[in-house]
Amino acid sequence: MSQDTTSPKARRGRPPASPRNTPDTRTALIRSGLEALTEQGFMASGIDGVLKRVGVPKGSFYYYFASKEAFGRAVMQHYGTYFAYKLDKHLLDESRRPLHRLDAFVADARAGMERHQFRRGCLVGNLGQEVGGLPDGYRQWLQTTLDDWQQRLARCLKEAQTAGELSETADCDRLAEAFWIGWEGAVMRARLERSARPLDTFIAVYMAGLPR
């Protein structure tokens, strides 16, 4: 991810009057925030660190976002869009059989974690773990997002059922829910062990346990 998309000329004094002039700074702040939140979660992430990565003064931050809370919401929004796109890229890929699409998503996510030396987790998992101390409304967003992911996966599992890859009696909604429950645990464990092994163990046992 690009971490420096600010204008080459450093700005001084008051921030610019119109946000339309600096969409790149806002995007860079969100990207930096995403890195911080996937690495450290919400409470441990300071705005100073986010600004430092991007190289903008604090005044600029409050020009784009009313508060750390509003910033967190923007980061979640960005992540939600990104992740839904990534999921669809795999789960709607008709060139593969339905269950292979899930394998492809896992392989993609695994490669992403490896690329960042297993330092970054899932934003939803990180925030979910600290939900007791988060601003109002974050909990709802996390639940809605997980429900959305579950529905996308359940559709893919139902296609697998239609294609004869899964038993006719399989409860695809429940299997999809179990996938995301286990997946968040696997991502957490992969960060802990700094290894892809937990992701591999999880998906192997999940796939082997599906009713065929």
Where does this chain bind a copy of itself (CB under 8 A)? 39-41, 43-44, 119, 121, 125-126, 128-133, 139, 142-143, 146, 174-175, 177-178, 180-186, 188-189, 191-193, 198, 201-202, 204-206, 208-211
Q: Are 38 and 123 in contact (CB under 8 A)?
A: yes
The structure tokens listed for 204 are 């192997």
Closer CB to a copy of itself, 39 or 93, in the complex: 39
Closer CB to a copy of itself, 56 or 176, in the complex: 176
Place of tokens 């600004």: 51
The distance of closest approach from Cβ of residue 43 to a copy of itself in the complex, given in angstroms and rounded to an integer, is 5
The distance of closest approach from Cβ of residue 23 to a copy of itself in the complex, given in angstroms and rounded to an integer, is 30
The residue among 37, 38, 180 whose CA lies nearest residue 106 is: 180
Long-range contacts of 171-175 (CB under 8 A, 24+ apart): 175/210
3-state secondary structure of 198: helix
Q: Are 153 and 179 in contact (CB under 8 A)?
A: yes
The distance of closest approach from Cβ of residue 38 to a copy of itself in the complex, given in angstroms and rounded to an integer, is 10
Closer CB to a copy of itself, 93 or 114, in the complex: 114
The structure tokens listed for 38 are 């996937």
The distance of closest approach from Cβ of residue 19 to a copy of itself in the complex, given in angstroms and rounded to an integer, is 32
3-state secondary structure of 9: coil
What are the backbone angles phi and psi of residue 207, rounded to the nearest 5°? -65, -45
Closer CB to a copy of itself, 37 or 56, in the complex: 37
The distance of closest approach from Cβ of residue 153 to a copy of itself in the complex, given in angstroms and rounded to an integer, is 13
The residue among 91, 81, 63, 62 whose CA lies nearest residue 151 is: 91
Closer CB to a copy of itself, 62 or 206, in the complex: 206
